[in-house]
Amino acid sequence: MARRRGSSAEDAEIWARVAATVAPLHPQRPAPVPDARPAPDPAPAPERAPRAPLPRFRVGEAAQTRIASPEAGASPAQRLAAGPLNMDPKTHRRMTRGKLRPEARLDLHGMTLAVAHPQLIQFVASCHAAGLRLVLVITGKGRGDHGPLPTRPGALRHHVPFWLHGAPIAPLVQQVTAAHDRHGGEGAYYVYLRRPRA
């Protein structure tokens, strides 16, 4: 039993007498020598920062909802619009207003993710090699997949921007943005390609 902090010399002497009368359970082990040193003071607990008080809430009131950041619950079109502009602003403005006509288009409607990804890579690579600048990739808005494995509604619409910014076609792509309503709106993307190297 450990000594209490601040015990006197008389208490230590009594403790030593009691400890001498105790028979050890394991005689082969040496009996522990009682520590006569006083126990150190415990470190003070770190102070917690005060919490802001919660606003009062009455039964029947509507809770205030926080506005999510663009990355949290934004659509792919909103995330792309919040991204950096990598092309001429005037050309970008004309493109997003639907005033530039795409030179080629790829329709991914009805394809699975496994089929659509290689199709997209082949399409972008061949258009870049042909010197095309603006192409249209149609994904559809998505209504969910009823296959054996569950996928989120509009899986192609959510995956295509990531594929366009990933290997192996990211170096060929200069800008990706949601298409104008006349070219498919949120169910399609404009892909502005870089100039091929000579």
Q: Could you read off the pLDDT of 148-193 as tens digits, one per residue? A: 655 556 889 889 999 998 889 999 999 999 999 889 888 899 999 9
Q: What dihedral do alpha carbons 180, 76, 144, 193 form, nearest 10°?
A: 60
Domain membership of residue 118 (yes or no) is: yes
- What is the reported pLDDT for 66? 44
The pLDDT > 90 percentage for the chain reads 36
Q: What is the pLDDT of residues 92-104, one digit of tens each?
A: 999 989 999 999 9
Determine contact, residues 108/138, Cβ cutoff 8 Å: yes
pTM: 0.57
| Continuous segment of H or E residues that includes residue 70 | helix 70-73
**Is 90 within the bounds of a domain?**
yes
Does residue 194 carry a pLDDT above 90?
yes
Quick check: is 172 in a domain?
yes
pLDDT > 70 in the chain, percent: 69
Q: Is residue 142 part of a domain?
A: yes
**How far, rounded to the nearest angstrom, does the alpha carbon of residue 3 sit from its chain's CA centroid?**
53
Q: Is 175 a member of any domain? A: yes
In a domain, 57, yes or no: no
- Residue by residue, DSSP assigns 110-149 as T--HHHHHHHHHHHHHHHHHTT--EEEEE--------SSS
* Cα 63 to Cα 57: distance, rounded to the nearest angstrom: 8
Both structure tokens of 167: 């290997």
Provide the edge-to-edge strand list for the sheet that holds 188-193.
104-107, 134-138, 188-193, 173-178
Range of the domain at 104: 76-186
Is 15 a domain residue? no
Q: What is the pLDDT of residue 129?
A: 94
Contacts of 108 (CB under 8 A, 6+ apart): 116, 119, 120, 137, 138, 139, 140, 156, 160
β-strand 134-138 against 104-107: which pairing, if any?
parallel
State yes or no: pLDDT of 106 exceeds 60.
yes
**Residue 52: partners with Cβ closer than 8 Å, 6 or more residues away:** none
Residue 50: inside a domain = no
Q: What is the mean pLDDT of residues 26-48?
A: 68
Q: What is the average pLDDT score of the chain? A: 80
pLDDT of residue 121: 95
pLDDT, residue 189, reads: 94
Instruction: Tell me the CATH number at 136.
Output: 3.30.1370
- Number of domains making up the chain: 1
Are 194 and 174 in contact by the 8 Å Cβ rule? The answer is: yes
More confident residue, 130 or 53: 130
Instruction: Give the pLDDT band (50/70/90) at residue 117.
Output: very high
pLDDT for residue 147: 57
What's the pLDDT at 65?
44
